[in-house]
Amino acid sequence: MSAPRPELTREAKAARVLEVLEALFPQPPVPLDHHDPYTLLVAVLLSAQCTDERVNRITPALFALASTPEAMVQHSIEAIDAIVRPCGLSPTKAKHIHRLSELLLERHGGQVPADFAALEALPGVGHKTASVVMAQAFGVPAFPVDTHIHRLMTRWGLTDGRSVEQTERDAKALFPEDRWNDVHLQIIFYGRAYSPARGLNPEKDVLLREVGTPEERAKWGIPA
């Protein structure tokens, strides 16, 4: 029996992850359809506990109703709720969309602020949502951590999986800042295509085979 291979350092793993992701997804698109920072903000808010695909099916009707804060506040929460209901948690999401639109008008002249603190002060906008908007609408380096990223960073041994906050800190430490905005999208696309939570095919998942933790490799029958 051959000896187990030595475990790579986190830095070596991160370098290999970058190499594979760049080869597979050199220009990752933004998964949520949008026209500007406001429609992106609304789409990201709707994506909580909902797939991007479903959000993209819902937002055309919503943005036909209203695609600016000025237009959105002219409609009732109930009217917004009726459209966004398939996204789940619709009463809360509709209320947040209406109220944040009011606050954008009151505090920011109807513009989405390119500022983490100002974004996170809006209803329904947590750190992850603010990070997505800062990265994808304004090009500010950020590393939003969703379930795919948290799962894969843990699967690869790049974080200990204790919390999404720790995963974000580890990702920012391991990957170059000028790559954050692409890498977080690339990891999401990789997770969907090659490394799902269930039904994973070890033959397809090159990163699991090459940089996965010993425990994860054993779980999926990959020799040590």
CATH code for the part of the protein at 10-29+144-216: 1.10.1670.10
Catalytic residue (one of 95, 146, 172, 219): 146
Report the CATH architecture of 37-138. Answer: Orthogonal Bundle (1.10)
Q: What is the mean pLDDT of residues 171-190?
A: 97
* The one-letter amino acid at 46: L
Q: Which of 22, 23, 46, 19 is nearest to 33 (CA)?
A: 46
List the chain domain ranges: 10-29+144-216, 37-138
Q: Is the pLDDT of residue 44 over 90?
A: yes
Q: What is the mean pLDDT of residues 172-188?
A: 97
C-alpha distances in Å from residue 196, one per residue of 47, 152, 192: 19, 9, 6
Quickly state the pLDDT bin for 2 (edges 50, 70, 90).
very low
pLDDT for 223 equals 84
Q: What is the mean pLDDT of residues 190-217?
A: 94
Task: Determine what percent of the chain is predicted with pLDDT higher than 70.
Answer: 98
Quickly state the pLDDT bin for 34 (edges 50, 70, 90).
very high
Q: Is 128 one of the annotated active-site residues of the chain?
A: yes
Q: Is 13 one of the annotated active-site residues of the chain?
A: no
- The average confidence (pLDDT) of the chain is 95
**Helix boundaries (H) for the chain:** 10-24, 37-46, 52-65, 69-72, 77-84, 90-108, 116-120, 127-138, 147-155, 164-174, 180-194, 206-211, 214-219
Q: What is the mean pLDDT of residues 209-218?
A: 95
pLDDT digits (tens, 9 = 90+) for 122-177: 999 999 999 999 999 999 999 999 989 999 999 999 999 899 999 999 999 999 99
pLDDT for 4 equals 55
Task: Determine contact, residues 41/125, Cβ cutoff 8 Å.
Answer: yes
Q: CB under 8 Å to 163, separation ≥6 — which residues?
A: none
- The token pair that represents 29 in the structure block: 């698109």
pLDDT for 1 equals 42
Task: Compute φ and ψ for 135, nearest 5 degrees.
Answer: -75, -50
Q: Is the pLDDT of residue 104 over 90?
A: yes
Catalytic residue (one of 128, 170, 182, 205): 128
